[in-house]
Structure 1
Amino acid sequence: MQKVDYIVVGCGLAGIAFCEQLRKHNKSFLVFDDRSQQSSLVAAGMYNPVILKRFSEVWMAEMQLQLAKPFYKDLEKLLHTKIDYEFGLLRRFSSIEEQNLWFSAMDKPKLEPFLSGNIVKNSSPVIDAPFGFGEVLQAGRIDTNTLIDNYLKYLDGQKLLKSRPFNHDSLKIHESYVEYENIQASNMVFCEGFGMKKNPYFNQLPLNGTKGEVLTIEAPELKINFAIKSSVFIIPEGNNLYSVGATYNWEDKTNSVTEEAKIEMTDKLKVFLKCDFKVVDQVAGIRPTVKDRRPLVGTHSNYRNIHVMNGLGTRGVMIAPYISEELFNYVEFGKPLNPEIDINRFSS
């Protein structure tokens, strides 16, 4: 029987963040991951402290960024790989009214650090932006595909990875430990994304999967080194490639790409992009979203050694480091969870 402090199920952004808490605190662990959940892999990976549709602050943006920036820098050192790309994020204005709303938002104390007071004039001959752009400060992108691929390789090299599905029915729960296959662990943490719907211990939680699709386009004439947010976002990937997205579908719960999503995104793109482009890739995944737009973090009501960390939604890059620290401190030191993320908020 192999004994560890933790079993972690799932190795997307949530699972990686919690594993890093364990590593930092010298806790032993094993990870089960079968690559079945794709929300982290299809994520654009942007960290952006402003909700650009309404010019409002992202929940706990300042604290999340304070934790996220050093978190990803440490991961770059661990993995010997570049994953954090800081670049400008410009919000395209569609009218004078939107410019005025931007300046009004700047008066809010929580938004002031993140909004530039200068209207950025459009200098690209292939972008239609007669009203210019607003610049979001402290934004950037994490290359989630590179992060997850390299973190799984790291775990495998350390013999900490079990690359197979986790069978919930085979889990044996005891008073002070859990037992699975030939492994005994003091605690286990489920970071399964939308796969939580099949988890008998936590599937009663209100996880509403939202399907998202993202395109990769090739646009040799575009030549920008900053991200643009309009009705869709454009994020530079290098070599004349750009990510474009994303869609929101609350009905379809498959990871299959659709022609409808492709048409929706290309039609929106053509509104302001006035050069030829070619779609070279399309991916889809189910975002683990929650009705109150807050994560799901906590411990099972009947089993004190089984925990969950889920519901990162569309902003997992920023949220994961924060909630992993919250859950670790809760499990190890009994520090109360932030009530806004505690799963007990849904107790009847």
Structure 2
Amino acid sequence: MTDYIIVGAGLSGIALAEELTGRGKTIKVFENNSQSSSTVAGGVYNPVILKRFTLAWNAAAQMETAIPFYKALEEKLGVNLVEELPIYRKFNSIEEQNNWFTAADKRSLAPFLDTGLKKELNPCLPSQHSFGRVIGTGRIDTALLLEKYWQFLNELGVFFAERFEYQKLQLLPDGVAYKSHKARRVVFCEGFGLKKNPFFNSLPLYGNKGEYIIIKAPSLKLQVAVKSSVFILPLGNELYKVGATYNNQDTSEEPTEEARESLLSKLRSMITCEFEIVDQVAGIRPATKDRKPVVGQHPEHLQLYCCNGFGSRGVLMAPCIARELAAHLEEGAPLDQETSLLRFLK
């Protein structure tokens, strides 16, 4: 009998697979590549919410867990995944400058906000009010991570590139049976796909659609990420990812003209050089109303668990939450009440 079936191999599923196998547990992983949020996302790790100059929920602890986690995966998979990437916030007013300094005086934010503002950043990126740098930021190559980790699991013979058929899951006294597989427990890490899961679809998970455009701008020559009304992320070879939109009404994964025009309008207000659009991508982020993950055991079917709801911060959240869930599953450690799915069942 396998210890765990993991359904979904995005950032959440990969992090949980690492934590469980690191404890000597056996796993089987099912992934049908139906959810694209992990690969579409910018992959940026940044502890600060740059719209309001506040620290994201539990961000300092997440940074301490996430960066070593991805660097260990670099060694394991033999690829480069972690890129240090400075992020600058463009200030649009003196008031925003003042808010930055006020935030930097707070103990929780002081390690992350550089008070030595930069007057000019790039000739094609003018600003009357300077730029502020976030300290310790970077980017994870999420697309490469998923590709190589799936390949790694496949070589171990524990990866199944197929849709998980819920109706074929049998609940047994000592675990579950699924087709020819038996396991002690199943953990669903399906992202927004959880809404189609008959065991957990009552949880208040909603889709937050994010769209990006990819542009080619030979004159821009930007080596850092910049946030104003949109993020500009350098990809190399004169390419930049620009985004993202937030739409909790549209749950289709197709790019839209409306998002494209919105991103173009905001980009043109930021840069002065010529560019061309070479691609547009979209994905559905799994989100909750309180912007915290939803993790834990099904209230009736005790063999079933979920690990979900990371929204736009999966790069930082996934390793930390997976570690907490694995400790809960194998060592009986209590789950954080802020993330436990029980908060929605009271």
The reply to whether TM is greater than 0.5 is: yes
The offset of 1:288, in angstroms, is 0.0
Structure 2 CA distance, aligned partners of 1:303 and 1:330?
17
Equivalents in 2 of 1:81, 1:160: separation in Å? 21
Distance (whole Å) between structure 1 residues aligned to residue 27 and residue 38 of structure 2: 21
For residue 123 of structure 1, report the CA deviation from its aligned partner: 3.8
What does 1:196-345 correspond to in 2, within 5 Å? 196-345=194-343
Q: CA deviation at 1:145?
A: 0.8
- What is the deviation of 1:81? 0.8
**Partner residue, 1:82:** 80
Which residue of 2 is the match for residue 36 of structure 1?
Answer: 34
- What does residue 187 of structure 1 align with? 185
Specify every segment of 5 or more residues in structure 2 that has no aligned partner in the other structure, as ranges. none
State, as a whole percentage, how many aligned pairs show the same letter.
Answer: 47
**What SS class does the counterpart of residue 120 from structure 1 fall into?**
coil
> Where does residue 127 of structure 2 map in the other structure?
129
* Alignment-derived partner of residue 166 in structure 2: 168
DSSP-derived class of the 1:119 partner:
coil
Superposed CA RMSD in Å reads 0.8
Q: Distance in 2 between matches of 1:123 and 1:225?
A: 10
Equivalent residue, structure 2, for 1:26: 24
**Which of residues 147, 150, 155 in structure 2 aligns to 1:149?**
147
Measure how far apart 1:323 and its partner are: 0.6
Deviation at 1:227, TM superposition (A): 0.4
1:58-94 CA deviation, whole Å, 9 max, x = no partner? 1111100000010000111111111111111000000
Distance in 2 (alpha carbons) for counterparts of 1:13 and 1:164: 18
Q: Mean Cα displacement is larger for which, 121-130 or 318-327?
A: 121-130
Match of 1:113 in 2: 111
Could you say which residue in structure 1 is the equivalent of 2:62?
64
For the residue of structure 2 that corresponds to 1:327, the secondary structure is helix
Q: Which amino acid aligns with 2:8?
A: G
Which one-letter code corresponds to 1:6 in the other structure? Y
Task: Give the match for residue 177 of structure 1.
Answer: 175
Unaligned 5+ runs, structure 1? none
Residues 1:200 and 1:89: Cα distance change in structure 2 (over 3 Å): same
Task: Name the SS of the counterpart of 2:269 in structure 1.
Answer: helix
The secondary structure found in structure 2 opposite 1:134 is strand
TM-score by length of 2: 0.99
Q: Displacement of 1:261 after TM fit? A: 0.6
SS of 1:272's partner is coil
Give the secondary-structure state (helix, strand or coil) at the position aligned to 2:67. Answer: helix
Aligned letter for 2:20?
L
Amino acid at match of 1:37: Q
Displacement of 1:32: 0.3
The total of aligned residue pairs comes to: 346
- Work out the CA distance in 2 between the residues paired with 1:123 and 1:325: 39
User: In structure 1, how many angstroms separate the alpha carbons of the residues matched to 2:254 and 2:121?
Assistant: 37
2:121/2:131 contact within 8 Å kept: no
Deviations 1:266-307 (A, max 9, x none): 110000100011111111111000001000100000122211
Could you tell me how far apart the structure 2 residues matched to 1:35 and 1:86 are? Answer: 28
SS at 1:116 equivalent:
coil
Amino acid at match of 1:192: E
Quick one: distance in 2 between partners of 1:169 and 1:232? 43
Counterpart of 1:338 in 2: which secondary structure? coil
Structure 2: which amino acid aligns with 1:266?
L
Q: 1:102 aligned to 2:100?
A: yes
- Deviation, 1:125, is 1.3
The one-letter amino acid paired with 1:7 is I
**TM-score, scaled relative to structure 1:** 0.98
| Secondary structure of 2:111's aligned partner | helix
Amino acid of the structure 1 residue aligned with 2:341: I
Distance (whole Å) between structure 2 residues aligned to residue 266 and residue 23 of structure 1 = 44
